[in-house]
Amino acid sequence: MIAPGKRADIVVIDGLDSCRVSQVFAGGVEITDAAFAARQLIDPVARHSVKAPLIEPHHFRTGGNRVETPVIGILPGKIITQHLTYDIAPEDGDKRPDTARDLVKIAVIERHGVNGNRATGFVKGFGLARGAIGSTVCHDHHNIAVVGADYADMALAVQRLGEIEGGFVVVEGGRVLAELALPVAGLMSLNSFEDVHDDLVALRAAARSLGVVLEEPFLQLAFLCLPVIPHLKITDHGMVDVDRFEVMP
């Protein structure tokens, strides 16, 4: 609303068809090209927020004697999930990824330095055949989330996310294939939108090279950790049955 007493942050455009910006006002002051170039730069806040713990491959093992296993079922392009159940027999005390059935591990690791929690589970729908992808954009707690077919690559993804102060990574065979650093709270970049766009294109391509079939794998991953949207999600406390609002045993 433009009215007396308002702050007067206003963008003026030439027309609704072109939507070309002709003038910008901030606090009632017109921002010219010269004023913008002379602006005072402010040091970014919320740096060094990703306190990634030391994670080893064995931390992704999933024990238990029950063969019947809850699995998060991805619905491409949607933030709701299916609550699936698959028989996954333990091998040497560990329920392992089964890429032939598109069953891979998912883990959430607390990264704020509060409690050191971590939890593992299974997810279906990524199409991931090898390697791992990881992210610190993990609604709404924004812990570290990693999905993988290989425990060593999952551990490397967590390590690399700590080194770059958060963001997105794609890992295979002990190598980081692509990454986007988001050092502001582990959520935002300090780079231009053009650079961020290029990095996202490379990340998606790297994920596809591992077999990922989702158009937006990192966006899809972020919402697998939001335990208020049905039906089965995961947090650092474990797999969450959202319909019952219970952490599953």
pLDDT value of residue 30: 94
Check whether 80 has a pLDDT greater than 90.
Answer: yes
The answer to whether residue 76 scores a pLDDT higher than 90 is yes
Which residue is associated with the tokens 């159940």?
85
Do the beta carbons of residue 82 and residue 75 sit within 8 Å?
A: yes
What pLDDT does 70 receive? 98
Q: Decide if pLDDT at 101 tops 90.
A: yes
Q: Which residues contact 8 (CB under 8 A, 6 or more apart)?
A: 2, 25, 27, 28
**What pLDDT score was predicted for residue 149?**
99
pLDDT at position 108 is: 99
Q: Give the pLDDT confidence of 23-60 residue by residue, as tens digits.
A: 999 999 999 999 889 988 888 889 999 999 999 999 99
- Percent of the chain at pLDDT above 90? 92
Band of residue 64 on the pLDDT scale cut at 50, 70, 90: confident
- The answer to whether residue 144 scores a pLDDT higher than 90 is yes
Q: Which pLDDT score, from 0 to 100, does residue 81 have?
A: 99
Alpha-carbon torsion angle 234, 238, 239, 243, nearest 10: -90
Tell me, what's the pLDDT at 65? 83
What is the reported pTM? 0.87
pLDDT in tens, 155-203: 999 999 999 999 999 999 999 999 999 999 999 999 999 999 999 999 9
Distance of CA 190 to the CA centre of its chain: 17
Asked if 155 contacts 55 with a C-beta cutoff of 8 angstroms, the reply is yes
